[in-house]
Structure 1
Amino acid sequence: MKESVVIKQKYKLSLSFRFLKKDLVFSISIILAAASCFIQAPKLEYINFHVLVCLFNLMLVIKALEELKILDKLAISLLNKCKNSKSVSAILILLCFFSSMIVTNDVALLTFVPLTLVISKKTNLPMMETVVLQTVAANIGSSLTPMGNPQNLFIYSYFGITPMPFFSTVLFMAILGVSSLYFFIHRLRGNELKVVLTPLTIEDWKKALVWGMVLGVIIASIFGIIPYQIAFIITLMISLLLNAKVLLKIDYLLLVTFICFFIFIGNISHSEAVQNFAGTSLKNPSSVYFSSIFFSQMISNVPASILLANFTTDWKPLLLGVNIGGLGTIIASLASVISYKLFIQSNPSEAKQYLIKFSIYNFSFLAFFVLIQYVILRLLNII
């Protein structure tokens, strides 16, 4: 009897371990959140409910459009117009780069990474590198506009920056980014696409139109045109009316992962040690630049910008630092967590390979951007 209980307990532990190992980022987020609670007591205000609700809304709409075969139709249309996989990847990567300037990096990834995964399934082509480069593209492209990502919006409003100084500061980074992406896209394998797929006909255009309108409402809430709470109620009601099953099909672990990271980031950034270190290390524009990159790797670029803004008036190196700092570790920009979760949801056995490839690409981009941008700042006498 005792042996049976022990075996069952071991089996449960084995299942738990396999589950945690399967979703490494989720596991890390739980460990970090729990460990940080010993440093600082967590507070409800650390959790960004606006981000969580918008993320939930977008996942619902994307899943609903996927169920209606809208993504399949877009994928087939794209595949039938392209002759090789390299041209498909180029379009998908550049879509993330340019759309992230308007709809934010996380929305761009939530929109186009699922399309990439659908194309991968239809062609049996590996698209891991494409998804990684989409993530890099979204993080770089979003740096060009104040509304492209949360840290830009915060710095833009906090320091009262006007459009021309802002764009002149980040323009070279965007040019450098699209040039680098072109180089890596050119290196991708260009497998010939021999398949000609029959165009899909959407059976229920009325539902597709309704979901399209809901997506418009959600994007309006992201821009602050309407309250995100109203967008949530509308999205939830439409889901219950048109397809209640879609509520069971979205990745709730992604939301839990974000909550854990919010707790970890909040606890760490509000700890006395981090506050003291930030206060003493920001002595000149050069230290602001490197500190913002360093803190972004540890606590993500949005809280890094909020934390460091309290200790400096040098907004240019801070702006560039937190945007460049979005490259590197997977938590440097939480938008990177979104594409990772979407990818492993479709390819659960490739989580480790994805993280390795993600790290190689992101740290390569990070090292290149840190060095080149530093040289430019020195030449312009900004640091």
Structure 2
Amino acid sequence: MPNKKSGIRFVRKEPIFFFLLAAYALLVAYNIKFLNSSLVEWNTVAIIASFLIINTGLLISGGIDAAAYAMLGRIKSFRKLALASIALTVLVSMFITNDASLIVLVPLTMSIGRISGSDVRSTVVLQAIGANLGSMLTPFGNPQNIIMFRHYGLSAPQFILAMMPIFLISALVLAAFVFLISRTGRASQPPPRPRSNRALLAASILLFVADTAGFLGNYSIWFFVAMSAAAIAAMTALRSKGSKVTAVLFRIDVFLILTFVLIFLVINSAATLLPRLHTNSGVLMFLYALVASQLISNVPATVLLQKSSIFAPLSWGVNVGGNGTVIASLANFIAIRQGGGISPIRFMKLSLLYTTIVALFAIILIEV
């Protein structure tokens, strides 16, 4: 039987999971109606799970290491590597959402750090900010934008033009953070690249392309369940010689998937307890959306406020508010989880500072 110390180590290894579990238990104790599986956005969980499992195949195959070697071969400066990683995250998140982009690109950054022998955890935090930044510009960059785009009946050009001022300000602040925080100097020459599992790599790439197409095509939950099953089958059937099936399957971050289920249960329950705000003040709506996002995440905040708000202050508030706390955006949690032991405190020190600076500029823009 596992001893008490091993149980304590397990809780310390998954602190956010157990914190959310305790929070959900308190919410259910407060109101038994919160014991409701419909609070979970199962389609989103299925999409995240499929990308995570397929990405595990890319990791095991050596494909992500190969991409990291390629970047290190072309870019020698640590600062340029950080800038390239963050800029790529901003660009990709405009099209496949902030969550999905980080699932793929944070492991790439971690691989670059491991191969070059550098600490890239600050870069990963800035990647999370970059993912939230890129996703704010397009109507389909994140779930809250999709909700508002449909609710307010805007055209794509109208949406992008409304978001452009805060996007440009946020991009300039992020660029300043990258310049001030990223490490100077040149990366050392990487060691010879190990051989990759080409069969598994090819299968994982095909599955990733299909999964992305299904995501952009708004396919049903069963498509992503099938993609997850196909990825697991590929990893077990095409695993490298000598590796055990259990060793391959244990690489899948099941606790991350379970934590997302708890996140939805907690934030969607808590959202019902917040009062609705009715105001004609753009600044007040922006601030309320910003603060609500820190407490219950930006998607529930959007649902809570969309019926009593004009578009721009709400959209700016929930998108800028996606940065800050760990739960402000699902992308933040992905970055922390896959970022090689980034503590929530370390993440929030940088993210909250960034959010405060951008929020001050946003208030000035709204008042002008």
> Structure 1 length as normaliser, TM-score?
0.87
Conserved? CA contact 1:217–1:231, under 8 Å: no
Which of 157, 162, 185 is matched with 1:191 structurally? 185
Q: Residues 134 and 241 from structure 1, CA distance in 2 versus in 1: closer, same or farther, beyond 3 angstroms? A: closer
Residue 226 (1) aligns with residue 219 (2):
yes
Conserved? CA contact 1:301–1:332, under 8 Å: yes
Name the CA distance, whole Å, in 1 between partners of 2:284 and 2:218: 37
**1:217 aligned partner, one-letter code:** A
Deviation at 1:377, TM superposition (A): 1.1
Conserved? CA contact 1:90–1:185, under 8 Å: yes
Conserved? CA contact 1:218–1:228, under 8 Å: no
Deviation at 1:285, TM superposition (A): 2.8
Deviation at 1:265, TM superposition (A): 1.2
Answer with 313-322 or 19-28: which moved more: 19-28
Deviation at 1:304, TM superposition (A): 0.5
Aligned to 1:287: 284
Q: Deviation string for 1:219-257 (max 9, x for gaps)?
A: 122223432312321331342245264433211111121
Aligned to 1:213: 206
Name the CA distance, whole Å, in 2 between partners of 1:225 and 1:209: 24
Name the CA distance, whole Å, in 2 between partners of 1:214 and 1:50: 18
Answer with 147-156 or 112-121: which moved more: 112-121
Which of 17, 29, 40 is matched with 1:26 structurally? 17
Conserved? CA contact 1:39–1:268, under 8 Å: no
Aligned to 1:73: 66
Which of 128, 140, 143 is matched with 2:136 structurally? 143
Residue 334 (1) aligns with residue 341 (2):
no
Aligned to 1:109: 102
Residue 374 (1) aligns with residue 363 (2):
yes
For structure 1, the 5+ residue unaligned runs are 1-7
4+ long deviations beyond 6 Å: none
Conserved? CA contact 1:32–1:261, under 8 Å: no
SS of residue matched to 1:335: helix
Q: Residues 374 and 65 from structure 1, CA distance in 2 versus in 1: closer, same or farther, beyond 3 angstroms? A: same
Sequence identity, in percent?
Answer: 24
SS of residue matched to 1:256: helix
Conserved? CA contact 1:282–1:291, under 8 Å: no
Name the CA distance, whole Å, in 2 between partners of 1:242 and 1:256: 21
**1:27 aligned partner, one-letter code:** F
Name the CA distance, whole Å, in 2 between partners of 1:369 and 1:73: 36
Q: Residues 203 and 251 from structure 1, CA distance in 2 versus in 1: closer, same or farther, beyond 3 angstroms? A: closer
Q: CA RMSD in A?
A: 2.0
SS of residue matched to 1:38: helix
1:185-334 residue pairs with structure 2 within 5 A? 185-187=178-180, 188-199=182-193, 202-204=196-198, 206-243=199-236, 245=245, 246-271=248-273, 274=274, 277-279=275-277, 282-310=279-307, 312-334=308-330
Deviation at 1:203, TM superposition (A): 4.5
Name the CA distance, whole Å, in 1 between partners of 2:304 and 2:116: 46
SS of residue matched to 1:331: helix
**1:336 aligned partner, one-letter code:** N
Aligned to 1:169: 162
Conserved? CA contact 2:47–2:215, under 8 Å: yes
Aligned to 2:353: 364
SS of residue matched to 2:229: helix
Q: Which has the larger radius of gyration?
A: 1
Answer with 162-171 or 96-105: which moved more: 162-171
Name the CA distance, whole Å, in 2 between partners of 1:300 and 1:370: 17
Name the CA distance, whole Å, in 1 between partners of 2:213 and 2:23: 33
Answer with 91-100 or 185-194: which moved more: 185-194
Conserved? CA contact 1:214–1:235, under 8 Å: no
Name the CA distance, whole Å, in 1 between partners of 2:221 and 2:178: 36
Q: Deviation string for 1:258-309 (max 9, x for gaps)?
A: 11111111211123xx2xx214x54533322111111101100001001111
Aligned to 2:56: 63
How many residue pairs are counted as aligned between the two chains? 356
Deviation at 1:20, TM superposition (A): 2.1
Aligned to 2:118: 125
Name the CA distance, whole Å, in 1 between partners of 2:17 and 2:197: 37
Conserved? CA contact 2:49–2:228, under 8 Å: no
Name the CA distance, whole Å, in 1 between partners of 2:210 and 2:188: 39
Deviation at 1:100, TM superposition (A): 0.4
**2:300 aligned partner, one-letter code:** P
Name the CA distance, whole Å, in 1 between partners of 2:309 and 2:297: 20
Q: Residues 285 and 196 from structure 1, CA distance in 2 versus in 1: closer, same or farther, beyond 3 angstroms? A: closer
Deviation at 1:356, TM superposition (A): 2.6
